[in-house]
């Protein structure tokens, strides 16, 4: 009996001791204020809670009010310092590879692959970044411009012949078709397998509670990734068996790299890279385009101003039917202001994660070695001290401001050495689509358009519109 009591006492004391150190982590300095939440679970449930506004999530906003712009928490079992402080955010990006390195919670790594580009560092990351720049760099984008315009016009024409379309799904389909063709020459019409369907399943559970049980969104996400990776590997093997005489897509480039003597590229890394590129290049852009159309629907004066800029481009052409030129694209001053304002409010990426490589002292606080750091772009983009009426849609606030990268005030595409290499590709797709849209078509909202964040941006009821060709309307 006494033995049982002693064992029970030891277990209880050990448990209480463990809970105490969980809630009060050891630190060679002063930790940022905050709460570690429940053991193991931390504050994960609060982090994933639904937010129905464009404002900073209640998870971050409430803690900033309570603790200040730098606070600690625990997410999916890992201690994390959350930064809504512009100075710390900028410091983290500038010290990439020295004091911090790219890091995401284990659940994210499981989703994107252990050797995905976000988990690689140093020379390997620079090597892969150089590979991607060959695809999405300015020279390649100039060559792609006619194809992007042709794709946009083709899809818009199809949409105008239907009674109703759901914007998010249709723009995602359009961009996935374009990107997959550029990357792997994938044709969704001719292929017997639906590659995009696996990405849809993947995306639906991407930012969800990490519970890997059949029926959960997270489980479907992992299954979608697994099936997509099988298809990508099969396509790569088919290309290896039937090589092309000339390099025409990214797979050709990858195969050439894999053949080189002493190459550091491996097939698993190449496939993970392909998966991330397909996901990042179409999902984020389709969300931004859907929100852009929502803003245009809600702000007729902005629609008028955007239309005037693009109709002026058409009037200045020597040949009315000639396609967009790179010079015309670069002249879209108001369009780029519109895009900046859209992605500022969209905040598609709710958090950017890094890991401290050693104890780091900043503004009187210590970030312990090994802790995660979550840079919070929404807290910067929606800060009333930085942006007047931050929740209002006002593209003119960008007038006279050149945005060529990240800054303390704007980090929609990341920052530092990991600034998104697909940024220019995203802007080209958005600008060209908007040009084709406002010069040739009109639309009316049928239903939907409301957004939620969990914490990623979603359109739970879709955004359904009816689109019509302006020429048909004038003839009627």
Q: Per-residue pLDDT tens, the chain, 476 aa: give them.
A: 666 666 565 555 555 444 555 566 777 889 999 988 887 788 888 888 888 888 899 999 999 999 999 999 998 788 999 999 999 999 998 888 789 988 776 666 666 666 555 555 555 667 667 777 777 778 888 988 999 999 999 999 999 999 999 999 999 889 888 888 888 777 665 654 567 766 666 666 655 566 677 767 777 777 777 888 888 888 888 888 877 776 677 888 888 888 888 787 788 888 887 887 777 777 788 999 999 999 999 999 999 999 999 999 999 988 777 889 999 999 999 999 999 999 999 988 888 888 999 999 999 999 999 999 999 999 999 999 989 999 999 999 999 887 766 677 888 877 766 666 778 888 999 999 999 999 999 999 999 999 888 877 889 899 999 999 887 655 55
Q: Are residues 340 and 250 in the same domain?
A: yes
Question: What is the residue range of 64's domain?
Answer: 26-114+349-381
Nearest to 313 by CA among 426, 403, 436: 436
3-state secondary structure of 444: strand
Q: Are residues 342 and 194 in the same domain?
A: yes
pLDDT of residue 145: 93
Q: Are residues 311 and 356 in the same domain?
A: no
Q: How far is CA 416 from the centre of its chain?
A: 16
Asked whether the CA dihedral 105, 109, 112, 117 is positive or negative, the reply is positive
DSSP result, 325-388: -HHHHHT-HHHHHHHHHHHHHH-----EEEEESS-EEETTEEE-TT-EEEE-HHHHHT-TTTSS
Encoded tokens for 187? 């044709």
Show which of 381, 404, 439 is a domain's final residue. Answer: 381
CA distance to 233, 283, 310, 334, per residue, from 471 (Å): 46, 31, 16, 25
CA distance to 51, 183, 280, 347, per residue, from 276 (Å): 26, 12, 6, 19
Total domains in the chain come to 2
Rg of the chain over all Cα atoms, to the nearest angstrom:
24
Q: Are residues 234 and 331 in the same domain?
A: yes
Encoded tokens for 242? 């039937």
CA distance to 218, 426, 475, per residue, from 159 (Å): 32, 22, 19
Q: Are residues 100 and 236 in the same domain?
A: no
pLDDT of residue 114: 60
Residue 9 lies in a domain: no
Q: How far is CA 12 from the centre of its chain?
A: 45
Q: What is the CATH number of the domain that holds 192?
A: 1.10.630.10
End-to-end Cα separation, the chain, in angstroms? 93
Q: Are residues 156 and 278 in the same domain?
A: yes
pLDDT digit string (tens) for 184-239?
777 665 654 567 766 666 666 655 566 677 767 777 777 777 888 888 888 888 88
3-state secondary structure of 165: strand
Residue 20 lies in a domain: no
Q: Are strands 463-469 and 165-166 parallel, antiparallel or unpaired?
A: antiparallel
Residue 460 lies in a domain: yes
Encoded tokens for 131? 């590979």
Q: Are residues 155 and 184 in the same domain?
A: yes
- Kindly state the greatest CA–CA separation across the chain: 98
Q: Are residues 341 and 353 in the same domain?
A: no
- Is 5 annotated as belonging to a binding site? no
Q: How many whole angstroms separate alpha carbon 42 and alpha carbon 242? A: 51
**pTM recorded for the entire structure:** 0.87
CA distance to 75, 84, 252, 371, 383, per residue, from 56 (Å): 18, 10, 43, 23, 9
Q: How many whole angstroms separate alpha carbon 407 and alpha carbon 459? A: 29
CA distance to 17, 39, 72, 274, 400, per residue, from 43 (Å): 20, 9, 10, 33, 41
Q: Are residues 303 and 214 in the same domain?
A: yes
Nearest to 275 by CA among 115, 136, 126: 115
Q: Are residues 45 and 35 in the same domain?
A: yes
Nearest to 294 by CA among 139, 427, 58, 461: 461
pLDDT of residue 192: 46
Q: Are residues 72 and 157 in the same domain?
A: no
């Amino acid at each position: 009996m006494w033995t049982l009591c002693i064992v029970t006492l030891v277990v209880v004391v050990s448990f209480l001791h463990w809970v105490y150190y969980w809630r009060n982590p050891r630190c060679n300095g002063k930790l940022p204020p905050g709460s570690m939440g429940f053991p193991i679970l931390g504050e994960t449930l609060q982090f994933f809670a639904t937010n129905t506004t464009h404002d900073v999530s209640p998870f971050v906003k409430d803690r900033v009010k309570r603790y200040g712009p730098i606070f600690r928490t625990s997410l999916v079992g890992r201690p994390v310092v959350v930064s809504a402080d512009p100075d710390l955010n900028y410091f983290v990006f500038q010290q990439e590879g020295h004091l911090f390195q790219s890091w995401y919670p284990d659940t994210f790594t499981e989703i994107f692959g252990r050797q995905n580009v976000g988990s690689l560092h140093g020379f390997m990351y620079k090597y892969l970044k150089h590979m991607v720049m060959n695809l999405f760099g300015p020279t390649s984008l100039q060559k792609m411009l006619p194809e992007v315009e042709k794709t946009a016009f083709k899809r818009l024409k199809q949409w105008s012949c239907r009674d109703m379309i759901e914007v998010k799904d249709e723009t995602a389909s359009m961009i996935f078709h374009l990107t997959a063709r550029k990357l792997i020459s994938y044709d969704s019409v001719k292929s017997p397998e639906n590659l995009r369907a696996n990405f849809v399943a993947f995306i639906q559970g991407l930012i969800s509670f990490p519970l890997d049980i059949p029926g959960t969104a997270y489980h479907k996400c992992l299954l979608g990734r697994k099936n997509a990776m099988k298809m990508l590997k099969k396509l790569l093997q088919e290309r290896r068996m039937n090589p092309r005489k000339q390099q025409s897509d990214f797979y050709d480039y990858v195969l050439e790299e894999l053949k080189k003597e002493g190459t550091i590229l491996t097939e698993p890394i190449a496939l993970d890279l392909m998966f991330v590129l397909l996901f990042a290049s179409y999902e984020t852009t389709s969300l931004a385009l859907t929100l852009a159309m929502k803003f245009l629907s809600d702000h007729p004066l902005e629609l008028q101003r955007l239309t005037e800029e693009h109709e002026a481009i058409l009037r200045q052409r020597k040949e009315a039917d000639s396609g967009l030129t790179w010079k015309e694209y670069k002249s879209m001053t108001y369009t780029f202001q519109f895009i900046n304002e859209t992605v500022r409010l969209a905040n598609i990426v709710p958090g950017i994660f890094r890991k401290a490589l050693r104890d780091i002292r900043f503004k009187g606080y210590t970030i312990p070695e090994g802790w995660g750091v979550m840079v919070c772009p929404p807290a910067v983009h929606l800060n009333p001290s930085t942006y007047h009426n931050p929740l209002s849609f006002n593209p003119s606030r960008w007038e006279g401001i050149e945005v060529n990268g990240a800054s303390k005030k704007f980090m929609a595409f990341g920052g530092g050495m990991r600034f998104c290499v697909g940024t220019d590709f995203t802007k080209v797709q958005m600008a060209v689509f908007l040009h084709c849209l406002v010069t040739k078509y009109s639309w009316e909202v049928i239903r939907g358009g409301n957004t939620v964040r969990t914490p990623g941006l979603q359109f739970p009821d879709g955004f359904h519109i009816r689109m019509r060709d302006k020429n048909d309307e004038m003839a009627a």
